Amino acid sequence: MTNAHNPDAPEGATGILVLADGTIIWGRGFGAIGSAVGEVCFNTAMTGYQEVMTDPSYAGQIVTFTFPHIGNVGTNDEDVEADSPHALGCIIREDVTAPSNFRDQKPFDQWMTEQGRIGISGVDTRALTRRIREAGAPNAVIAHDPDGQFDIDELLGKARGWAGLEGMDLAKDVTGHQTQLWDGKGQGAGIWRLGHGYAPLEEMEASSSRPHVVALDFGAKRNIFRNLVKAGAKVTVVPAKTSLDDILALKPDGVFLSNGPGDPAATGSYAVPVIQQLLEADMPLFGICLGHQMLALAAGAKTVKMHQGHRGANHPVQRIGGGWDETEGLVEITSMNHGFAVDGDSLPDNIRATHKSLFDGSNCGIEIIGKRAFGVQYHPEASPGPQDSFYLFAKFVGGLG
């Protein structure tokens, strides 16, 4: 049976991905009905698809999962990193099957529908991943229509008309809008343990005697705050555009710069001056991902858009000096999600590189010489991913006071 509206569509095609170069990829749609435009990236993690979809750093992006069996363990209320999903949609190889896991509360396709996110299955994700590796992350439109009726010219126009992530400030769209003590937002403030769930705030002994960390939220994952609390901090979360005076009024012992989506230079237009003032005030600083990039910008370095980015839970990072001299050469397996990076060749004399990617040699860590300020490009909080880098939270909180 042919599709009269799209005669070239394979039988049963209810999902489509239209790249800005005119490439059309058909599949079987699931989740929400409609279309969305963004940048197509790929993630190599074998677990944690729910954490990936709810990571604010994926705002403006359509995620291609290289692991073929996505959705097979269903979804639950614990494995989320924000109040709602931020990835626009996902592309997977195999159809979503009935969930098989004792923690499952809802099938993945149903969850995608309720969350307003579009999925396409039946796609050769290996071929799409190779295309991204060779040609870079493309702009595209993902669409789902149960009747398989698509206006390809209109979708192509949307893909070509989208400006792309470079120059785009997305942190303002995903940040929280209130200053508040981190209390887990109903999920518990501490880290998760099998059979116990998330530790509630009272078990974490949150008290005035704890070092006070003010966290600038550029699109933070919840597990970052949980790890700061576990390391011994009291955490107050503030919006991305919080002023220096408002930060200092909270009397922090240190300031955390969170991960987030978009171009660090664009978000840095308002965040970098604040970070520079914090550096001048000798405030201890710790940045992750976007926060790391903007810390580097504040100290005089530059950032660049990457060809394909780093996204997955198996990225090897090597310690190469600085405050990690006692373990120089040690390799951590890390979780990553970024399409921009600090330009390692642009580091001024006041910045020392501390970590590098063993995949491509790109910068993965810095420290500001003469200051108690450092950042890493990867995600030490995992979720999903290995826990090799949890020590960074203890390093930061342990140095406060």
Known catalytic residues are 289, 379, 381
Q: Which helix (H) or strand (E) holds 337?
A: strand 331-342
DSSP E strands, 191-330:
192-193, 197-198, 212-217, 234-239, 254-257, 285-288, 303-319
Q: Is 160 exposed, middle or buried (0-12, 13-18, 19+ CB in 10 A)?
A: middle
Phi and psi angles of residue 123, each rounded to the nearest 5 degrees, phi first? -100, 145
Distance, in Å, from the CA atom of 230 to the CA atom of 260, rounded to the nearest integer, reads 22
* Long-range contacts of the stretch 358-364 (C-beta < 8 A, 24+): 358/316, 358/317, 358/318, 358/331, 359/310, 359/315, 359/316, 362/306, 362/310, 363/296, 364/317, 364/334
* Nearest residue to 195 via CA among 51, 78, 106: 78
Longest dimension (CA), the chain: 71
Distance, in Å, from the CA atom of 301 to the CA atom of 367, rounded to the nearest integer, reads 12
User: What DSSP designation does 353 have?
Assistant: E
Residue pair 285/258 in contact by the 8 Å Cβ criterion: no
Distance, in Å, from the CA atom of 392 to the CA atom of 376, rounded to the nearest integer, reads 9
Cα–Cα separations (whole angstroms), residue 273 to 350, 366, 391: 17, 19, 29
Q: Look up tokens 């295309």; give the residue.
A: 131
Residue 230 is which amino acid?
K
Q: Which residues, including other chains, have CB under 8 Å from residue 151's CB and lie 6 or more apart?
A: none
How many distinct helices (H) and strands (E) make up the chain?
10, 19
How many Cα atoms occupy the beta-carbon half-sphere of 322 within 13 Å?
A: 23
